[in-house]
Structure 1
Amino acid sequence: MRVFITGATGFVGGHVAKCYAAEGATLRLLTRQTSRLDSLTGIDAEMVIGDLREPMKLRSALEGCDALVHVAADYRLWVRDPEQMYASNVTGTRELLKLACESGVQRVVYTSSVATMGFRADGTIVNEETSVSLKDMIGHYKRSKFLGELEAVRAAKAGQHVIILNPTTPIGPGDSKPTPTGRIIVDFLNKNFPAYVDTGLNLVDVAEVARMHVAALGHGTPGERYILGGENLTLKQILDRMSAITGLPSPTMKVPHAVAMAFAFFDENFTGRLRGKDPRATVEAVRMGKKMMFASSSKAERDLGFRVIPIYDAMRTAIEWFVAHGYAPAFDKRMA
């Protein structure tokens, strides 16, 4: 089986590529001119240089492929030019699916996000059937992923074999960018997490997310969405678990959302717009934090053989990886 994978140089995509390589697939991987290839070390694959913002140039990369696994996305919670995010996540997705259909690619796995679900402030555990609309999407990242997912649904309704996966918040080794979630771990390890807000996330082992990208090709139903999640945890519980692993203190001061919003507004404008650097806190992230992002993966368990795995080991290996690769100093306590 020949598989074209986008986003293979990213965190989730790198794990997906390794899973397909282990299955013996012939791989064709999309990379950018400036992409780091560390995550692809040891993988036998044909590298294709391209960009989702120029999808028409990817037609030749799709030719002769049996499957497209579209993992790539612009995943940032703060952007100077939002149009570039929509060009990648919405227009790029629509045109790539169209090209795959025209090129005779038989099956597609599209990596969406749990961000497209209808979360509630009261901590209600949501699933794929929870009502949601574009107006519920906070910020450009969520809106662009919601619209990109609609393109995948439309393609499936038109007869294309497209399976939609919605990972929650993956953690594990290899988060080199790092992602916004990885940044939480890095900030904690560097003692840059003096306080917390009352919010919650669902953390999932990135290895299990990657495994589902292989399983979905054979077991998923076209047009269906599948949440891939793990443990529902408050931010305080996440910090406490990292403290138990490392011996570093967990913050005890809870900050009201209004205070966090004021800091984020200042950080965006001073750090982001005046200094030209990515802010540590964003207004979008604080607005998201007012909702508990708790989700159920029962549909993926039933239909795809997904496993809800305790997050401790993935958290520990993520911490080990960040320390080993210089993102944070070593700590005294032996890792449990």
Structure 2
Amino acid sequence: MNNSLQHILVTGASGLLGSYVVKQLVAQNKTVKALYRSHIPAFDGADKVQWVKGDILDIVALEEAMTGVQEVYHCAAIVSFDPKEKQQLHITNVEGTANVVNACLNTGVQKLLHVSSVAALGRIRVNEPVTEKMKWTPETSNSEYGKSKYLAEMEVWRGVGEGLRAVVVNPTIILGVADWNNSSSAIFKSVYNEFPWYTDGVTGFVDAADVAKAMIMLMESDISGERFIVSGENTTYQHLFNLIANAFGKKQPHKKVTPFIAAVVWRLEKFKSFFTGSKPLVTKETAVTAQAKVYFDNSKLLRFLPAFQYTGLPDTVTAICKGFRKMYNLP
């Protein structure tokens, strides 16, 4: 379906995943427009991209950006578990996605690749792996973020019903090199600074490069109207933290966070946030998630894309730590 003459738009291009998608498309000599809000990321090949400053909440600018575009990778979203950001979560993730879908329909885009999240599947499950067949419910999700991503998916499926070809990916926790003060990249900063606490909760982790690769393969396929969990490996947070600590040559976390300690911490953080106005480092939602043991079934993607392979977690961590050393001039 795809070739080098296809015009492609990537929303959220300055974010963690969006920047990986753009880099891979450029490496394949694709003609790429990239929507960004505040800053253009620096990487080899960035000068080959047509950077468009804009916002998915600006309907007119969005349709202008899609003029002449055949494929859209919708990566723009807010990831937050702070109760204070509930309204902004829904505006950006739900209304923003509705705008993207409508603009695709209005401008004749051939295919949309929408980045959702496993949070949209209702990731808190007991004694059963999470699959693409599962749906978000208040009982299986502890976050407004998950609800917003579920509702955003509903906008995509509406677009499919109106004739848009689209695929949805549901990544687990994405690991990659980006600003480590934000997103999941903050895990690496925390371990580098020898934060002593760990949890034995289990979840899925995936290399950002793998998610981008899977997205491009799905876009270039004839697959439409499907959703795919993208997860490299289910493991404990403790195991991941230890891999990162070893790669950085740092001390491994050695204090286990019990449910009681987690409950105390999120309440203290909420109390501190109330007086300082700063974002809480831990919320009730993240405290519960970090304790949960959740396993994700990644077999559907491998069935649909038999040529696709995941990078092993040790290799992912080693490469990312090397990337952070270079980015921040770390010893």
Aligned to 1:191: 194
Letter aligned with residue 69 of structure 2: C
- Cα distance in structure 2, aligned partners of 1:226 and 1:306: 13
One of 147, 151, 162 as aligned partner of 1:147:
151
Any gaps of 5 or more consecutive residues in structure 2?
1-5
Matched, 1:78 2:82: yes
Following superposition, the deviation at residue 86 of structure 1 comes to 0.9
C-alpha distance after superposition, 1:124-145 (max 9, x if no partner): 3321123542543322211111
Distance 1:248 1:260, change over 3 A: same
Counterpart Cα distance in 2 of 1:143 and 1:255: 27
Alignment partner for residue 99 of structure 1, among 103, 120, 132? 103
Provide the rounded CA distance (Å) in 2 between the counterparts of 1:273 and 1:53: 29
Q: 2:240 aligned with 1:259, yes or no? A: no
- 1:324 Cα deviation (Å)? 3.0
SS in structure 1 of the partner of residue 50 of structure 2:
strand
Partner of 2:112: 108
Could you tell me whether the CA contact under 8 Å between 2:136 and 2:147 is conserved in 1? no
Distance 2:250 2:50 in 1: 43
- How much does 1:234 deviate? 0.7
* 1:273–1:35 distance in 2 versus 1, CA, 3 Å: farther
2:173 is matched with which residue?
Answer: 169
Q: Partner residue of 2:322?
A: 320
| Structure 1 residue 19: Cα displacement | 1.3
Residue 219 of structure 1 contacts residue 303 of structure 1 at CA under 8 Å; is this kept in 2? no
Matched, 1:24 2:5: no
Residue segments in structure 1 that go unaligned for 5+ positions in a row = 331-336
Aligned partner letter, 2:276: R
3-state SS, counterpart of residue 244 of structure 1: helix
Q: Give, in whole Å, the separation in 2 of the partners of 1:306 and 1:273.
A: 47
Q: Name whichever of 59-68 and 79-88 sits farther off.
A: 79-88
Displacement after TM superposition at 1:188 (Å): 0.9
Cα deviation for residue 156 of structure 1 reads: 1.4
Q: CA deviation at 1:179?
A: 4.1
d(CA) in 2 for partners of 1:269 and 1:39? 40
**Identity between Structure 1 and Structure 2 (%):** 25
The whole-number CA distance in structure 2 between the counterparts of 1:89 and 1:177 is: 22
Q: Give the equivalent residue in structure 1 for 2:3.
A: none
- 1:250 deviates by 1.9
1:216-275 deviation digits (Å, cap 9, x = unpaired) = 1122532210111101111111122223323322223322112212211211331x3322
The answer for the alignment partner of 1:58 in structure 2 is 62
Question: Take 1:273 and 1:36, find their aligned partners in 2: how far apart are those partners?
Answer: 33
CA contact (8 A) 2:124 2:140 kept: no
Tell me, what secondary structure is at the counterpart of 2:46? coil
Aligned pair partner of 2:132 in 128, 144, 148: 128
Distance 1:31 1:273 in 2: 31
Alignment TM-score, normalising by the size of structure 2: 0.91
* Residue type at the aligned position of 1:300: L
Q: Is 1:90 matched with 2:94?
A: yes
Q: Paired residue for 1:48?
A: 52
- Pair 1:197–1:145, CA change in 2 (3 A): same
Aligned equivalent of 2:227, options 225, 236, 260: 225
| 1:200 corresponds to | 202
Please state how far the C-alpha of 1:16 moved relative to its aligned partner: 0.2
1:205 Cα offset (Å): 1.3
Amino acid at match of 1:299: K
1:133 alignment partner, SS class: coil
Does the 8 Å CA contact 2:180/2:188 hold for their aligned counterparts?
no
| Distance across 2 between alignment mates of 1:131 and 1:90 | 17
What is the TM-score of this pair, normalised by structure 1? 0.89
The SS at the match of 1:201 is strand
**In structure 1, which of residues 196, 211, 214 is the aligned counterpart of residue 213 of structure 2?**
211
- The 3-state SS of whatever aligns with 1:17 is helix
Moved over 6 A (4+): none
Distance 1:134 1:26, change over 3 A: farther
